Structure 1
């Protein structure tokens, strides 16, 4: 049985992965808040951004944490197509949950359905990512801990969607993002505690890419996307700000034209008198 190390680089990967989960959650919640105050294509675009932010944040959290995962007696590689599929699943299933909340008429039903869908999607992403591991040995799971990790994912997703529906202020969103980041990290490490590896020593080359060859550059790219999108959302005017701007424009258009300085300085007698 191989010894599993979940923090081969110390606290660096757990802390950094938690930060990425919080950033993705905060960005997703802010986009959801914007979506609920918008209509038409604008609502759809905000929901798409929310889904991509949450999905990207969760995926990046998982694989940044996996950078610190090591098993004594074997190297670890990753199957590239399966890893990319896990990212796609995260975005699509989170998107389904976010859209259910964004367009659902019955908020309670939409919240429960969206939370269940999103939570199962998060769990699917995690275990697809684990299925992408290639090492010398066999991976086994504790079913009870796997079930607990799925339950945590569903509860965390439902809580996040509830926050998106009910929390409006930036400070409250920040607190909710910290809680959601902790929940996602808890789900990940609960799933990892469920893992045991029976190592089979071998000198054969492992298929796939190493974490530094593939996971690290992809995580850096997705992390950059989160930071850039966060800046865009922060600088983008809210619906209230746009409404105030349009009202100000209409007020300016309807205001009577101001008298020119020349007209104001010309005596009334000279303006009204005819030619001499």
Structure 2
């Protein structure tokens, strides 16, 4: 996997930047949802789920995968699994945000963190399963466990940020931290993969 990072040093930077943008939008929309009542709250939460799940997590993953190649191996992606992994990321963020934004208790935060963290890891490995190539990819169990732990912590932190933080400077800082965690989860998982 060292080869994965070295092949295109710009790809991790672009992937992280996209994750920051998705996090910034998602956390801003979630903050707006907290200030809103009635049906408008659900519109803001939907936009937050789309930004966090679709951009901060899923788009970051596939941009990072653009930097992945194996000598003499052609990699294509299964469209159904690829789109399904994106839908999964958005859906788990929607459920987690609905849990934590409507009544932000510690118990809901933990449950939401578990749902979104497991969903994010599942999205990653579903995205990996969408790769079509001649060969087999194996995943080191230690890296899977580490990536899962990072995803659980990152998802719970993101929900804590989304349900409690206010103010643009704080949301910007939280976006940088969240994107770092999402990116770290991806590259930790990839470091344990071998074709």
Please give the alpha-carbon distance, in whole angstroms, between the structure 1 residues aligned to 2:155 and 2:79.
27
After TM superposition, list the pairs within 5 Å mapping 1:26-105 onto structure 2.
26-57=24-55, 58-104=57-103
Q: What secondary structure does 2:90 align onto?
A: helix
Distance, in Å, in 2 between the alignment partners of 1:51 and 1:165 is 13
The structure carrying a bigger helix percent of its residues is 2
Gaps of 5+ in 1: 198-276
SS at structure 1 position matched to 2:166 = coil
Distance 2:74 2:120 in 1: 26
* Residue 142 of structure 1: aligned partner: 140
Q: Where does residue 151 of structure 1 map in the other structure?
A: 149
Instruction: Answer yes or no: is the 8 Å Cα contact 2:2–2:191 preserved in 1.
Output: no
Q: Do the aligned residues in 2 keep the contact of 1:4 with 1:70 (CA within 8 Å)?
A: no
Shift, 1:5, TM fit: 3.0
* Residue aligning to 1:259: none
Gaps of 5+ in 2: none
Question: What's the TM-score, normalizing by structure 1?
Answer: 0.68
Partner of 1:123: 121
Kindly indicate whether the alpha-carbon contact (under 8 Å) linking 2:24 and 2:171 is maintained by their aligned counterparts in 1.
yes
- After TM superposition, give the deviation of residue 75 of structure 1 in Å: 1.1
Is the 8 Å Cα contact of residues 86 and 126 (structure 1) preserved in structure 2?
A: yes
Note the alpha carbon deviations across 1:76-116, whole angstroms, 9 max, x for none: 11111110100110110111101111123x61111111111
8 Å Cα contact 1:33/1:164 also seen in 2: yes
**1:99-114 equivalences in 2 (<5 Å):** 99-104=98-103, 107-114=105-112
1:152 Cα deviation after fit: 0.4
TM-score (norm 2): 0.96
Q: Which has the larger radius of gyration?
A: 1
Aligned to 1:182: 180
Q: Distance in 2 between matches of 1:84 and 1:22?
A: 21
| Structure 1 runs, 4 residues or longer, greater than 3 Å off | none
The alpha-carbon deviation at position 12 of structure 1 amounts to 1.6
- Cα offsets for 1:113-166 (capped at 9, x unmatched): 111111111111100000001111111010111011011001001001111122
CA RMSD of aligned residues (A): 1.3
Question: Any conservation in 2 of the 1:100–1:114 contact (CA below 8 Å)?
Answer: yes
Aligned residues: 194
